[in-house]
């Protein structure tokens, strides 16, 4: 393993548990544990899995003008975000591309932001250069981030802090988990109910061991995290979205709030708002290949007459649907669910069709009362 790679606070625990460690975004991370990706994936769907996502960037924007400063850089409505609530949005370029997709939490006296691991240095430089006076950026380099995901996650975490079970999807609170100070968010990247837990590096291993000691919880790595998010139709930065894709093309138009559509005032607004009105030339869609062969990233997509219309950006085997699944971009005329297409998989033409996302229904916790 490359000695230049960074390690998270759980590195020794991963090795102890028999993880296969791989380079990822500058870190040495667990790809899978001895159970394997398939079992880790299905365990997350049926019980609960613990993921180490400490490679992600955690930052804070302080200052009375933090919400307005960030809102000038994203198409999401940050100023209307209630205290203790979270919002998914994107840092956009002047021509409407996506610099990164981020999660923002309103802490009332400032904003918490989670950045993608491969983009955190570039994002922080962008924020530093753009937020202006009166707003300060603080990086949390000594903080771990754990993700407890799956239908049993709430019951498990409630044993450490009963108030966790009361939280709604995209709510965040500071709390003590069995004596460990943590920031807990009801969110995740699997499509399942679950939590992300930010805490000091020196407390991470103790809490991870305590969570793994619960009967429902097993460790899971990056491999299962990727198959879970693909089934859930969630984008991976650098693959499904990047500076060449707009939020509208990426089927993320729902992130542009009504007020921001009316007012604009964010990078790339002219192009994004034009696409909201006229429609984009291409769209991100779900793809179901026929047969058992997966269509990987870069696979060419053809129409039924053999003409190129797009490409696959994420693809693999979906354990919960027991078959190959993919996401990619196709011309807007071919984006309707059920449209027949052809995939060029290792020189063979494989029939497929466009399918609405997600492949597996989301099970986020949204109480009706």
Question: What confidence tens digit (pLDDT) does each residue in 188-207 have?
Answer: 999 999 999 999 999 999 99
Please report, rounded to a whole number, the percentage of residues in the chain having pLDDT higher than 90: 96
**Residue where a domain terminates, one of 197, 231, 265:** 231
Q: Based on the domain organization, do 40 and 187 belong to the same domain?
A: yes
Q: Please write the tens of the pLDDT for every residue from 115-173.
A: 999 999 999 999 999 998 889 999 999 999 999 999 999 999 999 999 999 999 999 99
Q: Based on the domain organization, do 170 and 50 belong to the same domain?
A: yes
pLDDT at 1: 55
Q: Based on the domain organization, do 298 and 319 belong to the same domain?
A: yes
Number of domains observed in the structure of the chain: 3
Q: How far apart are CA 156 and CA 140, in angstroms?
A: 27
Q: Based on the domain organization, do 148 and 34 belong to the same domain?
A: yes
Q: Based on the domain organization, do 42 and 91 belong to the same domain?
A: no
Q: Based on the domain organization, do 64 and 49 belong to the same domain?
A: no
> Which band of pLDDT confidence, cut at 50, 70 and 90, is reported for residue 242?
very high
- Position 38 in a domain: yes
Domain of 319, CATH number, reads 2.40.30.110
Average pLDDT over every residue of 228-239: 98
Q: 213 pLDDT exceeds 90?
A: yes
Which residue range is the domain that position 326 belongs to?
Answer: 281-355
Average pLDDT over every residue of 226-248: 98
Q: Based on the domain organization, do 90 and 111 belong to the same domain?
A: yes
Q: What's the chain's average pLDDT?
A: 97
- Position 65 in a domain: yes
> Which band of pLDDT confidence, cut at 50, 70 and 90, is reported for residue 12?
very high
Q: Based on the domain organization, do 115 and 172 belong to the same domain?
A: no
Positive or negative: CA dihedral 180, 183, 184, 187 = negative
- Position 78 in a domain: yes
Positive or negative: CA dihedral 94, 99, 105, 108 = negative
Q: 45 pLDDT exceeds 60?
A: yes
The per-residue DSSP string of 207-221 comes to HHHHHHTSTTEEE--
Q: How far apart are CA 180 and CA 335, in angstroms?
A: 48
pTM: 0.97
Domain of 200, CATH number, reads 3.30.1360.120
Q: Based on the domain organization, do 62 and 49 belong to the same domain?
A: no
Q: How far apart are CA 102 and CA 78, in angstroms?
A: 12
pLDDT at 369: 58
**Residue where a domain terminates, one of 231, 263, 295:** 231
Reading the block at residue 51, the tokens are: 């993921």
Q: Please write the tens of the pLDDT for every residue from 338-366.
A: 999 999 999 999 999 999 999 999 999 99
**Residue where a domain terminates, one of 78, 112, 137:** 137
């Amino acid at each position: 393993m490359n000695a230049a790679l960074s390690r998270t606070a759980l590195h020794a625990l991963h090795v102890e548990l028999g993880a296969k460690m791989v380079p990822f975004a500058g870190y040495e991370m667990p790809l899978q544990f001895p159970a394997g990706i398939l079992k880790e994936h299905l365990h997350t769907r049926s019980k609960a899995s613990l993921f180490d996502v400490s490679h992600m960037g955690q930052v804070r924007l302080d200052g009375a003008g933090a919400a307005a400063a960030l809102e000038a850089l994203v198409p999401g409505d940050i100023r209307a975000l209630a205290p203790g609530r979270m919002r998914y949005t994107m840092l956009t370029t002047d021509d409407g591309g996506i610099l990164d997709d981020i999660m923002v939490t309103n802490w009332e006296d400032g904003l918490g932001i989670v950045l993608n691991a491969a983009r955190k240095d570039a994002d922080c430089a962008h924020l530093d250069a753009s937020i202006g006076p009166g707003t300060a950026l603080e990086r949390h380099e000594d903080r771990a981030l754990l993700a407890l995901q799956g239908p049993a996650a709430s019951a498990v975490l409630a044993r450490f802090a009963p108030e966790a079970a009361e939280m709604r999807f995209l709510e965040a609170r500071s709390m003590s988990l069995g004596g460990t100070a943590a920031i807990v968010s009801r969110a995740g990247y699997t499509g399942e109910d679950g939590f992300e837990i930010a805490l000091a590096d020196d407390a991470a291993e103790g809490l991870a061991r305590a969570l793994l000691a619960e009967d429902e919880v097993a460790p899971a790595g990056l491999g299962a995290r990727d198959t879970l998010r693909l089934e859930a139709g969630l984008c991976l930065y650098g693959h499904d979205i990047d500076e060449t894709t707009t939020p509208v093309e990426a089927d993320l138009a729902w992130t542009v709030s009504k007020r921001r559509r009316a007012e604009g005032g964010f990078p790339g607004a002219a192009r994004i708002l034009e696409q909201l009105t006229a429609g984009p030339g291409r769209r991100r869609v779900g793809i179901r290949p026929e047969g058992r062969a997966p269509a990987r990233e870069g696979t060419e997509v053809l129409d039924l007459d053999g003409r190129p219309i797009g490409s696959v950006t994420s693809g693999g085997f979906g354990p919960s649907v027991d078959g190959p699944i993919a996401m990619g971009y196709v011309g807007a005329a071919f984006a309707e669910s059920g449209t027949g297409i052809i995939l060029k998989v290792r020189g063979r033409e494989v029939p497929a069709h466009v399918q609405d996302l997600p492949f597996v229904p989301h099970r986020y916790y949204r109480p009706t009362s």
